[in-house]
Amino acid sequence: MPLQKLQFRPGINKDVTSYSNEGGWVDGDKIRFRLGFPEKIGGWLKYSVNTFQGAARALHNWIALDGSNFLGIGTHLKYYVEEGGGFNDITPLRSTTAAGDVTFAATNGSTTITVSDTNHGAVLNDFVEFSGAATLGGNITAAILNAEHQVTAVISSSQYQIVVSATANGSDTGNGGSSVVGKYQINVGLNSQVGGTGWGSSTWGRGGWGSGSALTTVAEIRLWSHDNFGEDIIINPRDSNVYYWDKGTGLSARAVELSTLSGAKSAPQIAKQILVSDQDRHVLAFGCDGLGANSSAAQGNGVQDPLLVRFSSQENAVDWFPTSTNTAGDLILGSGSEFVQAVETKREILVWTDTSLHSMRFIGPPFTFGIQQLASNITIMGPNAAVATEDVVYWMGIDNFYTYSGQTKQLNCTVKDHVFNDFNFSQADKVYGGINSEFSEVIWLYPSETNSLASGGSGENDKYVIYNYKDEIWYYGNLSRSAWLDRGIRTFPIAAESGYLYNHEFEYDDDGSAMDSFIESAPMDIGDGDKFALVTTVVPDLTFVGSTALSSPQATFTLKARTEPGAAYGSTSSGSAVRTASSPVETFTELLNLRVRGRSFAIKVDSSALGTKWKLGSPRVDIRPDGRR
């Protein structure tokens, strides 16, 4: 029988049975499709050897007037401005003590120091920096104390503990003297969402000391929103205050409360998200507090309204009190119980509540902004689940994917069951949507139930799903990343994980180690599958162009046969296609002598070699009928 060319539809389909998907792909990892054919995705490399503290939940890149290339990074512990590979901690302060309010007590033979400070307001893992401390008399010197420390235990409202780098001895009987000043950074957030009732279900400082939680509560993870206002940046830990970092103060300066800036009027004290409207230069606060008591009040009223949207006067980040001579104002989202996310496009700002979608547009005086409801009974997975490219927005709902480009549509997803049947809904706020514009891709990073804390995993994002909006196809894989930022100002897309930033689409390896990738087809048969087929030869069709391997790059072809759709794969046969020359023309293994027999067979292509890039074409197989049994 002559050779048979194998041609497959692009994209992966997991929402039908594998047998009914003949001519398609049913599984894969770290692959994409270009021009209809599968290939290995690009690799990644650490952007910097330096690290930051905490799980990154937000990334924002901008350029200052002097050309400085900044990257804002919000983690559950801190906020950083990165420049040139260095991470500069600009986390705001929440309080500074008077000299002498803080004292220390050491225990002989221990590295733990007990800190006394009435009404300190610290929670577990908070950061505090001391200055003015004197030696405790022994190993615990002034230099050890006068540094930044992390709270390791909260004893009471007036005492907590830190761990230092030296072990106290019998001479460490002092208390640090009367000049100690403590600078407390804003309370850290949670890394994983937790729910529960009773004592311990809320964090320290969110309820009175000694009080429990009578109702079921959910302690949410720390998320950030941020946007640059010119060369400065405005940052907002979700459901907390709004802060401003002035580039002119330098990278060693911390962000400060917006309401403390000169000219501040009714600046929000709490918000779920902030955004700078690029077209008209208003700062917007979503799910925020109301106006202050009068036009001279620097702060808002501090009472959060989860459906309130306020905006500053045009070109003025600090004036939020509406007058006849400015463009500040507010509006209420008319549907839902709370705001979830806002995303800006070239024409409008899309605003999601927990049950609806709205369009917010700049219309000029006297109302400044108008709002229109676009859809009801629609969901969004979390505060980072929506992303825009040009004027099209894509988002992940709680059981579907959607798009908006003038009208709201549900996307036809061929991997929906694969995603949502192994989804850790208790950590849904960790979902992070991003764009990889070079390849016309929307990527959602998400946590699987397989990797949940209850299953012994980390509870972090460990999988991704991609929608190629040019070809309207889907594919997925395994990847541990907590945040993503498309290339634009910088050369490569950037993603974050475990204290590092990574340049993505960089060569074809996993930070210098080999990166596994594969794709597997649906089973194929002869006729209606009533006859056995014998496959004896595979003629590879692929290219290794782009590989950086010093030795010959290769990919493995595996044939897998079975007798019935519900049967396990029986016989398998594998062989490697190896590039033997790249110039003047690329040559590689011509024939693979494989042998499998069954009523249907599937083909799998994979590679795990360092520096290997592969792209599959249309391989051919020698297949012939081999009886009915």
- What percent of the chain stands above pLDDT 70? 94
Q: Residue 365, SS3?
A: coil
Beta-ladder partners of 98: none
Q: What is the DSSP string of 382-410?
A: STT-EEEETTEEEEE-SS-EEEESSSEEE
pLDDT of 584: 64
Which one-letter DSSP state was computed for residue 313? P
Instruction: Calculate the CA dihedral of residues 291, 293, 297, 298 and round it to 10 degrees.
Output: -40
For residue 323, pLDDT over 80 is answered with yes
Q: Residue 573, SS3?
A: strand
End-to-end CA distance of the chain: 19
Residue 359 and residue 353 in contact, taking contact as beta carbons nearer than 8 Å = no
Share of the chain residues as helix, strand and coil, in percent rounded to the nearest 5: 5, 45, 50
pLDDT of 291: 98
* Mean pLDDT confidence for 504-523: 97
pLDDT digits (tens, 9 = 90+) for 384-414: 999 999 899 999 999 999 999 999 999 999 9
Distance CA 256, CA 91 (A): 9
Q: Model-level pTM?
A: 0.94
Q: Residue 437, SS3?
A: helix
Average pLDDT over all residues of the chain = 93
pLDDT digits (tens, 9 = 90+) for 96-144: 999 999 999 999 999 999 999 999 999 999 999 999 999 999 999 999 9
pLDDT digits (tens, 9 = 90+) for 264-289: 999 999 999 999 999 999 999 999 99
pLDDT of 583: 55
Q: Give the confidence band of 203 by pLDDT, cuts at 50, 70, 90.
A: very low
pLDDT digits (tens, 9 = 90+) for 562-597: 877 777 777 788 888 887 666 566 778 889 988 888
What CATH number labels 95-185? 2.40.30.20
* Mean pLDDT confidence for 17-23: 92
Q: Residue 321, SS3?
A: coil
For residue 215, pLDDT over 50 is answered with no
* Mean pLDDT confidence for 235-248: 99
pLDDT of 525: 83
Distance CA 270, CA 28 (A): 44
* Mean pLDDT confidence for 20-41: 97
Q: Where are the domains of the chain?
A: 4-25+515-625, 95-185, 224-383
Q: Give the confidence band of 552 by pLDDT, cuts at 50, 70, 90.
A: confident
pLDDT digits (tens, 9 = 90+) for 167-196: 999 999 999 999 999 999 999 999 998 864
pLDDT of 299: 98
Residue 120 and residue 158 in contact, taking contact as beta carbons nearer than 8 Å = yes
Q: Give the confidence band of 295 by pLDDT, cuts at 50, 70, 90.
A: very high
Q: Residue 427, SS3?
A: helix
Which one-letter DSSP state was computed for residue 283? E
